[in-house]
Amino acid sequence: MSELYPVYVVTATYNEADNLPTLVHRLFELRLPLHLIVVDDASPDGTGELAEQLAARYPGKVTVVHRPGKLGYASAHRQALSMALNHGAATVITMDADLSHDPGRIPALMQALEHCDVVVGSRYVPGGRIEGWGWFRHFLSRVGGRFVTRLLTGLRAGDCTSGFRAYRAPLLRKVRFDQTQSEGYGFLVEMLFRCQRAGARICEVPIVFVDRRAGRSKLSKRIILESALLCFKLLGQRLCTRPHRGKR
Residues 65 and 61: their CA atoms lie apart, in Å, by: 13
- Give Cα 133 distance to the centre of its chain: 20
Provide the whole-model pTM: 0.89
Candidates 3.40.1260.20, 3.90.550.10, 3.90.1150.10, 3.40.50.2300; CATH matching 2-240:
3.90.550.10
- Strands 118-122, 165-168: parallel, antiparallel or unpaired by DSSP? antiparallel
Local confidence pLDDT in tens for the 248 residues of the chain: 679 999 999 999 999 999 999 999 999 999 999 999 999 999 999 999 999 999 999 999 999 999 999 999 999 999 999 999 999 999 999 999 999 999 999 999 999 999 999 999 999 999 999 998 887 777 777 766 677 888 889 999 999 999 999 999 999 999 999 999 888 889 999 999 999 999 999 999 999 999 966 655 555 566 566 666 777 678 777 778 767 655 43
Domain map of the chain by residue range?
2-240
